[in-house]
Amino acid sequence: MIHVSTTVNGDAHELLCDPRETLLDALRDRLELTGAKEGCGTGDCGACTVLLDGRPVCSCLVLAAEAEGHEVRTVEGMADGENLHPLQRKFIEHAALQCGICTPGILVAAKALLERNPDPSETEVRYWLAGNLCRCTGYDKIIRAVLDAASEMREAT
Amino acid sequence: MAFDEETNGFKVVGTRPDRPDGIDKVTGRARFGADVTAPGMLHAVIIRSPHAHARIVKINASRAEAANGVKAVVTRADFADGLEGENWNILENLMAGERALYDGHAVAAIAATSSLAARDAARLVEVEYEVLPHVTDVDDAMQEGAPVIREGAADGSVPAGMHPNVVRCHDSGHGDPEEGFAEADLVIEERFTTEATHQGYIEPHACLGTLGPDGRGELWCCTQGHWNVQKVCAALLDVETSKLRVTASEIGGGFGGKTAVFIEPVALALSRKANRPVKLVMPRADVFRATGPTASTSMDVKIGMKKDGTISGASGVFRCQGGAFPGAPMEFTAMCAFAPYALRHVRQIGFDVMTNRPKQAAYRAPGSPMAAFAVESVIDELCNRLGLDPIDVRLKNASREGTKASFGPSWDRIGLVETLEAAKEHPHFSAPLAEGAGRGISCGFWFNHAGETAVQLALSEDGTVQLSVGTPDIGGSRASMCMMAAEELGVPYDDVRTTIADTATLGYNEISHGSRVTYASGLATIEAARDTVKKLCKRAADKWGIDAEAVEWRDGCAIPSGPNAGDFDPMPIKEIASRMGQTGGPIVGHFEATPEGAGVSFATHIVDAEVDRETGATTVTRYTVVQDAGKAIHPSYVEGQYQGGAAQGIGWALNEEYIYDDDGRLQNAGFLDYRIPVASDLPMIDTVIVEVPNPGHPYGVRGVGETSICPPLAAIANAVSNAAGVRMQDLPMRPSRILGALKARS
């Protein structure tokens, strides 16, 4: 077992992990942060997207041991107390989720986009989210929700 | 039109409130199939056949059983014996008996203290196979000399002399197509094929099961129908149904693929053997290899048309491959094929064909999209060659109320003409096309289904409402249920909480399939609310000392029905609820029945596509869905169904396919090689909700989930064919196929 010290959503954690254990499994099984989902285990669907030092990664392709000394952010860390992140609010308002399994990964990925590019075009949003599969919505309402959240966040600053 | 008047004046229905489970689903709090644990829980792995067809000579699990952390191994011997019919098929599919029938067929399962330990131990299970000849293609499987999947599987519907792999046949129609073809000015007959596609839900199948030595069990699973899971598990494990309580988790997509049972009895069998809870989560590759997919097809369609656009005759033969078990949806394929058109001469024949592939499962309007692809392609070609407008021709031949359906009955009130007229008026239809682009039109049809339904509506002491339904919420249906209950009771939307009840809490509820949830659980909710209102009125009447018949319900209050009833102030629901303990006890409304009257639904889609002549790649540049919803309860989620069906259709038409190599092994069991549409592949998808009320629902609701995937294959194929100048008859229209077709033309 490997000893891993990492920060998740601002909290310091000490974990003992199998060397083969993925960051996704450590988050879900050891920290009970089940917001990130395993849709494929091969980095193709994006449902397990988390931020590693601010960079979106497929946590199914990152070993838990690689989180040593780094900062992890998950969907559980997006809201500020009872105040939802504007992306979370806009996803509900726009009915941008049907089953909701891809939603955590898409929200985390979209947050990373807006931190880099506060005014993305529709095409930029589509390409940024091309690694996050949604089978229910056809993406239409997701793209609209992200663009609307971006617009609201720009007005707020 | 009294019915229309009745459905006007809604206060809640037709608005777009936030879904009640929204916050749970955007914060990661919602619990899906794989998101739960239990004390002492084991993790399970299923061992699967690497061969398309093989006799299982021997399974030796002794090394695995001795491995660290392993607590149980099960094979077919650990399940019930002597099953018949579909229960036998389900068991044979989820744990092979004497033979492995397809690549990915389960042969054993193992439970250990961690998922890594289970995976390691799975490699120690030794399975000796004797490889047998296999067949995976639908046309090959019908040829003389093809390997027989199962002797004696055919039923009496199959004509004599057909290959034993043809196991069921459907034949329907009326008139004489040959007479119709003789009257035609132009007759076109072509063959079309479609590949098997997977529902592609992002959440793999997952469950957590406990089954004790006393036969009592608990099961948590992602499913479209937990009463069905309960019934199947009880049969396959030979336990009493009511001793097993099944709770449906949040469900991460299903599209029909989670109507079937694949892993739950395996987890329970392992649990029974280890006497500990067992969690089983399918890896994605297993999802592709051993669940779903839809049928692949080979279809011959012949249609005759007069110069004025009248379809004078039509016939079709639809061969559907459903894997190593009977059940390919060939009757639906045949029955949906010509459903949009009122025809004097029509005949459709379907064949259910077995191959060495996974047991097909329902996929959104099973069979209909393929049939529409063949039929609507031929109609498009007829329109092109006769110089006719594709919408005018469809309007001229459209099924209407009272006309005889191609498969027999006369239509009730239907909205096909309304969708065609709305499509014709839509700016998309008359927008100029870019150079090299093509436009495609298609209609589509699905039956919709009602099914067994039980609902309970309980009043809380503060006047808020607890609604229990038995149909898993697969795309926002809790919101629609809350809305319909609020509408009937005259209470705010937020005062209703909808829970998906477990199998111990309500009577049997059929699966969330057949686009039935908003229709059937909605109808049941309305009826349960009306039952509650009767009881509320009775309490008010008792208080006022008048007859219950002299009280009516308005805006959340009991009121005297007229001046003769007496002069009393309105009595709000909260007041009645606060005193219900003293006035007769809890107030609960019910509905338990199998409703009849799920109205059918039609759609018309318009697609623009561009084809890159160098690469053969297709881009869908504009997409419009026009569909009859009867009555849209929550329009945002109706639009979502329209958009989602169109997007899945785009994948099916352009990219998605099961690819088998000569060895019968699936070559693309992952999302990288089985490529579903991603955000950058698609345009915005415009929607038009047409509302032609369904007389079989109190508010006019028709199911909307499935019809949306019926027209896309054909509409996109027509757009691509018109852009490329060559008729595309095989799906998917991957770049290599389009390049090949362009080359063949030049």
Q: Give the model confidence (pLDDT) of B137-148 as tens digits.
A: 999 999 999 999
Secondary structure class of A107 (helix, strand, coil) = helix
Residues of B within 8 A of A18 (CB-CB) are: 114, 116
> What is the residue-averaged pLDDT of chain B?
97
Contacts for A78-85 with beta carbons within 8 Å, 24 or more apart? Answer: A78/A107, A78/A108, A78/A111, A78/B27, A79/B27, A84/B23, A84/B26, A84/B27, A85/A111
pLDDT score, position B746: 83
Closest partner CB to B475 (pick from A34, A99, A104): A99
Q: Does A55 touch chain B (CB under 8 A)?
A: no
- pLDDT tens profile B597-607: 999 999 999 99
Whether residue B360 contacts residue B333, with contact meaning beta carbons closer than 8 Å, is answered with: no
Q: Does B639 touch chain A (CB under 8 A)?
A: yes
Q: Does A74 touch chain B (CB under 8 A)?
A: yes
Residue B6 has pLDDT above 60, yes or no: no
Residues of B within 8 A of A132 (CB-CB) are: 678-679
Mean pLDDT to the nearest integer, B133-137: 98
Show which of residues 15-44 on chain A sit within 8 Å of chain B, judged by CB atoms: 18, 20-21, 25, 28-29, 33-42, 44
- pLDDT tens profile B677-726: 999 999 999 999 999 999 999 999 999 999 999 999 999 999 999 999 99
Cβ contact, residue pair B31, A34, below 8 Å? yes
For the purposes of burial, counting CB atoms within 10 Å of the CB of B505, is it exposed (0-12), middle (13-18) or buried (19 or more)? middle
Residue B8 has pLDDT above 80, yes or no: no
Q: What distance in Å separates residue A70's CA from the closest CA in chain B?
A: 22
Mutate to test the interface with B, among A28, A113, A136, A143 (most CBs of B within 10 A): A136
- pLDDT tens profile B57-112: 999 999 999 999 999 999 999 999 999 999 999 999 999 999 999 999 999 999 99
Residue B497 has pLDDT above 70, yes or no: yes
Q: Does A59 touch chain B (CB under 8 A)?
A: no
Residues in chain A: 157
Cβ contact, residue pair B644, A33, below 8 Å? no
Whether residue B582 contacts residue B542, with contact meaning beta carbons closer than 8 Å, is answered with: no
Q: pLDDT tier at B415 (50, 70, 90 boundaries)?
A: very high
**CA B697 from centre of chain:** 20
Enter the tokens of residue B360: 């097909």
Enter the tokens of residue B644: 């989602």
More confident: B435 or B622: B622
Mean pLDDT to the nearest integer, B507-532: 97
Closest partner CB to B679 (pick from A47, A79, A143): A143
Whether residue A96 contacts residue A76, with contact meaning beta carbons closer than 8 Å, is answered with: no
Quote the percentage of chain B above a pLDDT of 90: 97
Closest partner CB to B640 (pick from A98, A103, A104): A98
Enter the tokens of residue B209: 């099961």
pLDDT score, position B7: 55
Domains (range + CATH), chain B = 2-30+450-593 (3.30.365.10), 42-132+211-283 (3.90.1170.50), 367-448+599-745 (3.30.365.10)
pTM over 0.95: yes
Best CA proximity match to B334, nearest among B321, B322, B351: B351
More confident: B436 or A88: A88
Cβ contact, residue pair B670, A42, below 8 Å? yes
How far are the Cα atoms of A28, B465, B496 from residue B492, in angstroms, in the given order? 37, 10, 8
DSSP B128-168: EEEE------HHHHTSTTPPPSSTT---TTSPTTS-TTEEE
Whether residue B454 contacts residue B470, with contact meaning beta carbons closer than 8 Å, is answered with: yes
Residues of A within 8 A of B253 (CB-CB) are: 98-99, 101, 135-136
Q: Does B293 touch chain A (CB under 8 A)?
A: no
pLDDT score, position B1: 36
Q: pLDDT tier at B413 (50, 70, 90 boundaries)?
A: very high
* Half-sphere exposure at residue B447, Cβ-oriented, CA atoms within 13 angstroms: 22
More confident: B3 or B193: B193
Domains (range + CATH), chain A = 2-77 (3.10.20.30), 86-156 (1.10.150.120)
Interface A–B counts its CB contacts (< 8 A) at 186
Q: What distance in Å separates residue A135's CA from the closest CA in chain B?
A: 6
pLDDT score, position B2: 44
Residues of B within 8 A of A140 (CB-CB) are: 643, 682, 684-685
- pLDDT tens profile B465-489: 999 999 999 999 999 999 999 999 9
> How many other C-beta atoms are found inside a 10 Å radius of the C-beta of residue B106?
22
Mean pLDDT to the nearest integer, B372-390: 98
